[in-house]
Each structure stands twice: as structure tokens, then as C-alpha cells.
A and B are shown apart, each in its own frame.
Chain A
Amino acid sequence: MKPYIAVFKLRVINGLQYRIAALAGVATQFVWGFMYIMIFEAFYRGFSGTQAISLEQLATYIWLQQAFLYFLYLWLKETEISESITSGSIAYELCRPCGIYGFWFAKLIAHRLSGTLLRCAPILVIAFFLPIPYRLSLPPDPLTFLLFVVTLLLGLIVVISLSMLAYISIFVTMSPIGSFLVFSVVGEFFSGFVLPIPLMPIWLQNIVYLLPFRLSVDLPFRVYSGNIPTNDAIIGILTQIIWIIVLIAVGKFLLTKMLKRVVVQGG
């Protein structure tokens, strides 16, 4: 475990260096957050009857989404890994006495964690003091908050085990852009990043619930706002664990297969 912890540590240290990028990120996230809430506010006004998710819950959902963007966004790409495949510097990683899967996994967790640490605090703090309906509200009770933390962390693992598949596909496509474009367009929509899932038509919701993507974004944020009750949250956690086991098994299998026929690019 020590090597993986070490690479995790160094990647966090590395990630914490990019302060200006984080600052710019925070500003962007505020703009997006306000924009989304305003759009939904307009929709809600023009619509009589009750929605599956209240505007206050939706505002909370969107602020969490903006604050934890770096944590859960599927298109977030760790360029070092993709470059190591396309440029061939993966050669060095293959000379280390560790499994590549675990090595990359640790790097990816650290990458997302360091980015989030730099970005989430200002967004969360300010969003707490905004006027209603823009305010980020507190979770209904401590248990909900605990469930939120668990689903959020498991959600991170789901995202990373999913994105590992995208990194592995680079061995075949040799193009990180292509791999991630397909992956993120599909993933982002089905995870509830573009449109919160309760606002989708029922037939689409049925599809979304079958896929693993929603376990990353939709589940933790709706657990926080109380839109998903405790029982469903616990079922959600179990589903997360099952998906994580499946995704990691598939990823490890594919990576082993790829490494057998790996070609180190560029001489």
C-alpha cells in the first residue's frame, strides 16, 4: 500500500501548486452556478404544479455540483496519464514494482482531491449566505449529512473506476481527446450534471437508474438535500459498492490485456 500512498501524497502536493487555476475555477463555478439556478427559477415560475425536486433543493444541488465539480466531473482529465500513454513515458511506470492500475488510481484520487480542496471552500461558504432561493441549505439532519459524505466518497471511486476505462481505451485509440469526448458527453448527461435526474421524463429516468453514472453526482447531492430518503440512500450505497467492484474488475482485466500488447510510442 505504501507506494500508492506515496504517489497519492506527491500528486496532492503537485496539485496544490496550481493556485491561480483554482481561483479562476472558483470564479467560473460561481457564474455557472448562478446561471443554472436562474434558468431553473425561470422554468419553475412558468410552470404551475409541483416538481419532483423543489427549487431550494435544486439550488443546493447546483451549488454542491459546482463546489465538487473537480471531484466528480467525468471530463476532468489527468493529462499526465494520457500523455504517458501517447508519448511513451509509460515505459518508466512499467519499470516500477507496482501495479499500474493501483498507481493510476491513486494518482487520479489525488488529482481530484487536491483540485477540490483548493476550490470547494469559497464556493460552499459564500453559497451558504446567499438569499433564498439561491442559498445552499444545510442537510435536514446529521444522519443525512453522514450519508452524503459516504455517497460522495463512494461516488468519487465510481467516477475514477469509470474514467480508468477511458484511460485504458487510449491504448487503442491513441487519442485522449476522442476517448474522453465520447465518455464525458454520455457520462455527464447520465450522471445528472446537465439536468437533474428528477426533472427528466420517466422513461429516461428508468434508463438512467440502470447505469452507474448517476451514482457519482445525482446520488450524493440529492441525499444531501433530503430529496432521496435514508432507505433509498442506503440502497444507493450498496449499488455504488457493487458497481465499484464490477468496474474495477473490468478495468483491471482490460489493462492487463492492454499491457501485454503495449507498444511504447516514440522510440
Chain B
Amino acid sequence: MIKIEGLSKTFKVARRSSGLGEAVRSFFSPKYSEVNALRDVSFSIDEGEIVGYIGPNGAGKSTTIKVMSGILVPDSGDCNIMGYVPWRDRVQYVKNIGVVFGQRSQLWWDVPIVDSFELLRDIYRVPEDNYRKNLNMLTETLNLSEIINTPARQLSLGQRMRCELAASLIHDPKILFLDEPTIGLDAISKIAVRNFIKTINKENNVTVILTTHDMNDIETLANRIIMIGKGQILYDGNLNKLRDKFVTHKTVTIDYNENASPIELNGAALLSWSKDRATYAVDIKQRGVSDVISELSAKLEIIDVAVDSEPIEEIIIKLYKEHQV
């Protein structure tokens, strides 16, 4: 469905140091430097996938989204989405996609939300029946009925983001690009947005590509992640595989009835010990967690057990470090 090969894009950025002298100097001879926003980016995405596109700030995520949605023209490389080249066949192509830029708004600021929706209906030439159907579905799943007649300027960020999502789906797009859809939202709104993305993907088979800095978004939504750093793809694949690769230890914490001396185990380092609680770091390559627990339960009267694996954030940080981005 989406096939991208060797995409590159450089931006010219004006630079100068601080101070009046520098400002005057750059007035006469401005200095520019080139920033390689994308360097030879290639990947392909199948229909119905949800792909999390992650990377640190300035890695090139948004640039990729903008190229894929036909806004930016890359310097070199091929991009074929549903048979279109986005920037060349822009007007034909964009009928098939929905886009949400989390930091911008596509809703008209001073008029009720429903007016913006109707404008989109006319722009995309959505037949009235489809529009009604979609609007009902979106109003229901995103819980918009109370806010749809309010001007955008009077909505909270979370309410507005729900409307933005709805606005991007009025014309039944096949592909949905979400550039940081959960930015600045509270926990409840984030969950609502995530659930909605899941639903739309499952029920309408919409392919979703989302960028985010929130690893919970990725964990709940995407089975596949593409990680980009300094304009290059660093990792492309399954989230669990990434975890397998980087998660080497699990932490086991046990509470037990008082025991005098610490118990040493093979393949599990004792991190801390007290009269009624011990913490072990289990090397999962050497032995299983259940094995450790059963050995301990033979020796102790266990009250409670907790197993923690490394949070995904830590893994991503490790990955960033490994690639020095």
C-alpha cells in the first residue's frame, strides 16, 4: 500500500550567533547551513497496519509524514502510495488520506465544529448519506454530541483533538496519518483517542501511521514500529522483538514471612534484602522467572510476588544511545 524508497530531503536553515554585531553581519551576508532531515529512508507498509513512527525531536518524523501526505517535495527518492506519487498527484491522491497534525488545527476557530465538518464534506464531495453515516459514527465513538455545536475556540485541547480526529475521517480515508495526536492530552483523553484509533483500524481497515513521543501510545496501538534518528531508519519491526533484544533482565520482588538470612540464587542477582522483602534481577537468558519463584517458594513462605520488566521507554533510550541520536 505504501512503498518508500531512498527518500532524502535537506532544508536550508539560517544560522547566526546571538548579539547585535552578529545580527548586523548576518543582515549583509546571512549564513545558511544544510540540515539533512531525511537520508535514504525506505520502508513499506501494508494495508490495515498500525505503524508507530518514533524518534527523538528533530529526527525527521514530521518531514516523512509531510512527504507522504503530499505537502513536501523530497530532494530524491521514490514514494508510491496506492499507486500515486503524493506530491505529483497531490489533488487526486489526498482524497484517499486523512491527516491530523497534533500541533495545528484544521477546524475553523470562530464557527461551530459542525460547520467545519460540513465544509470538509463539500471539499471532499462526500455524498450526504455517507456524511450522515460517518458523522453519526464519529459523534458516537468520539463522544462529540455535546461539543459539535460549539466554536473550536471554546473547546478544551482534548475536546478539540477528538474533533480533529473526526474531521480527518469524514471522507472515509484509506490511510490515516497522525502526527502526534496525543500531544498535550490528559490520561483520559489519551485513552479515548487510542481506543478510537484501534476501532477505526479494526472496523474500517484504515491503515494508520502515527508519530508520537508517548510510548504508551505505541504499546497499546502499534505492533510494528519504525524508529528514525538523524534522518535515518534505525529500527523497523515488531515491538516485542525489540523488547526481546533489549530486555535482558526482569525484576522479581517478593514479600514473605520473616526470614533471617538472604538466599543466593543462580542466574538471579540479589538486588536488595530485608527481613520480609527481597528483590532479584533475573537474567532471563539463564533461567525463567517461574523457575526462580518456585525455588524461592520452596525455601520461603511467600506472601506476595511482583514481576516487573523494563519499561519500553528505557528500551527506546537504550536504542537511541546505541545509535547515538
Contact = CB atoms under 8 A, between A and B. Distances in A.
Interface of A: 2-3, 5-7, 10, 13-14, 17, 87-89, 91-92, 94-99, 260-264, 266-267
Contacts of A17: 110-111
Contact of B123 (A3, A14, A91): A3
Contacts of A99: 91
Contact of B69 (A6, A95, A98): A95
A7 B105 contact: no
B245 interface: no
Contacts of A88: 104
A2 B119 CA distance: 10
11 contacts: A6-B118, A6-B122, A10-B111, A10-B115, A10-B119, A13-B115, A91-B101, A95-B69, A95-B99, A98-B91, A266-B103
Interface of B: 11, 62, 66, 69-73, 90-92, 94-95, 97, 99, 101, 103-106, 108, 110-111, 115-116, 118-119, 121-125
A97 B95 contact: yes
Given A17-B110, A97-B124, A264-B66, A92 B104 contact: yes
Contacts of A96: 94, 123-124
B124 A10 contact: no
Contacts of A261: 73
Contacts of A14: 108, 110-111
A263 B14 CA distance: 13
Nearest to A15: B110
A109 to B, nearest CB: 16
A13 B109 CA distance: 12
B66 A91 contact: yes
Contact of B94 (A6, A97, A262): A97
Given A10-B118, A95-B97, A97-B94, 9 more contacts: A3-B122, A3-B125, A6-B118, A13-B115, A92-B101, A97-B95, A98-B91, A98-B123, A99-B91
Contacts of A92: 99, 101, 104-106
Contact of B71 (A3, A13, A95): A95
A17 to B, nearest CB: 6
Nearest to B57: A267
Given A88-B104, A92-B106, A94-B90, A7 B71 contact: no
A97 B103 CA distance: 22
A13 B123 contact: no
B117 to A, nearest CB: 11
Nearest to B123: A3
Contacts of A5: 122
